[in-house]
Structure 1
Amino acid sequence: MVGTNHERPGKHTREKTSLFGLVSYQPRWVIVLLLLTLTVSVVGLRISWNSGLRRVDALVQDAERALAIPTKVDPAGPRDPAEVEAKIREWTGAKIVLPRDEQLFTYNGVAREKMGRLPVVVVRLSFSGEPYLLLVVRKEMIRGSRSPGSLFSQSGFLSGEKDGKSYVFWEREGVSYLVVTGAELEHAFDLVRRYFT
């Protein structure tokens, strides 16, 4: 008896090596590792998507509360759109062009506030007599130090209704915008589409 091996003494076995130099290449392990990597990637993307939704949802809740607070009447009257644009540009760096139609739009106030942990610019406006709240936030404030891509890569807008209020969220040129109103969602979305994008 030659050794404890059941192989023939004259037969020489070839060891298979993988691309990475591992001994005894087994394709089953490669398939398992590829499936595991794919699963982790899909779960990571899903968590990232849900994280964006949660952040916008928290911002919407804070904006709804701010919309419910009655506005103080400014003794100077409505604000000039150029003045509101200058304040937004000063506080966020966003170059926004507000609608100038004085018969449809009235700008009741602009303020720098903190919603949750985010510094935002809140513009109170009226469109055809209906109160609206426009929030302007630098995108990196919502995303943190993550990549500069969009929170929602599938679409340009995120809209919905919550607690009787409608909201439309969109991103453009490094800035995130949110409009909240008590009007119907269709009216809010039409306002954003026609006048702000």
Structure 2
Amino acid sequence: MGLEFRPRLTVVLVFLTLMVAVVGWRIARDTGARRVDVLAHEAILLFDADSPAGATREPLAVADAEKVFRGLAAVPMDLPRDDDFVPVEVRRVTFSKRPAASLRFLYAGDAYLLVVSARDRLLGNGFPSAFPEGSFVSGERGGKSFVLWDREGASCILVSDVDVTQAFDLVRRLFT
């Protein structure tokens, strides 16, 4: 009347444990993909939105745009000093229900939008990255390309009408 070995019960318990582990892993992995989709969708909506009434579309001086952008983003970020880089608008936006800074700019005649939010504000404490298993995520949604990356305590996303490879190359050359 002691302990009795029951192989069927052991097999069933091992199988159930493995199923729970696999389902948990899939949920965790899919949550990161959904988070990226939500961030990309929201950034594309900001890119498509017109500037607020009365906002100027005259090019800004890079030094002035950088000063305002750093103040709004609350993260250190140097803007490129390239002749093809033309800042058009800097403003505070709400991104993922958090304050962020947005920079509309032209590069070689193509329009871009860069949105930067301090990571602790955008993702909450305890999240190491906006997305799992990588340092960059890029893709296309609705004819717009986006690149999402983390750097120096900030989550950044760039959106444009250009091809995703061109947008990724721009991020790599100018912002990392």
* Shared fold per TM-score greater than 0.5: yes
1:188 partnered with 2:167: yes
Percent identity, aligned pairs only? 37
Q: Which residue of 1 aligns with 2:44?
A: 64
**C-alpha distance in structure 1 between counterparts of 2:9 and 2:122, whole Å:** 40
Q: For the Cα contact (< 8 Å) 1:120–1:137, is it kept in 2?
A: yes
1:97 partnered with 2:97: no
TM-score, normalised with respect to structure 2:
0.82
1:132-166 deviation per Cα after TM superposition (whole angstroms, max 9, x unaligned): 00011222334334x33224332211111111111
**C-alpha distance in structure 2 between counterparts of 1:84 and 1:40, whole Å:** 51
**C-alpha distance in structure 2 between counterparts of 1:94 and 1:151, whole Å:** 16
Higher CA-based Rg: 1
Q: For the Cα contact (< 8 Å) 1:136–1:176, is it kept in 2?
A: yes
For 1:122, give the aligned amino acid.
S
Q: For the Cα contact (< 8 Å) 2:88–2:104, is it kept in 1?
A: yes
1:113 partnered with 2:76: no
**C-alpha distance in structure 1 between counterparts of 2:130 and 2:16, whole Å:** 25
Number of aligned positions between the proteins: 174
Q: Which residue of 2 aligns with 1:50?
A: 30
Q: Which residue of 2 aligns with 1:7?
A: none
Q: For the Cα contact (< 8 Å) 1:49–1:152, is it kept in 2?
A: no
**C-alpha distance in structure 2 between counterparts of 1:88 and 1:26, whole Å:** 66
Q: Which residue of 2 aligns with 1:74?
A: 56
Stretches of structure 2 that go unaligned for 5 or more consecutive residues are none
Q: Deviation at 1:73? A: 5.6
Q: Deviation at 1:66? A: 2.1
Instruction: Map 1:1-197 onto structure 2 (within 5 A).
Output: 15=2, 23-24=3-4, 26=6, 29-71=9-51, 74=56, 77-101=58-82, 103-145=83-125, 147-197=126-176
1:25-58 deviation per Cα after TM superposition (whole angstroms, max 9, x unaligned): 5565455444433433332232223222222222
State the superposition RMSD in angstroms: 2.5
**C-alpha distance in structure 2 between counterparts of 1:116 and 1:151, whole Å:** 12
Stretches of structure 1 that go unaligned for 5 or more consecutive residues are 1-12, 16-22
**C-alpha distance in structure 2 between counterparts of 1:91 and 1:73, whole Å:** 17
Q: For the Cα contact (< 8 Å) 1:125–1:131, is it kept in 2?
A: yes
Q: Deviation at 1:64? A: 1.7
**C-alpha distance in structure 1 between counterparts of 2:106 and 2:67, whole Å:** 19
Q: Deviation at 1:107? A: 0.7
TM-score, normalised with respect to structure 1:
0.74
Greater RCO, 1 or 2 (C-alpha within 8 Å, sep 6+):
2
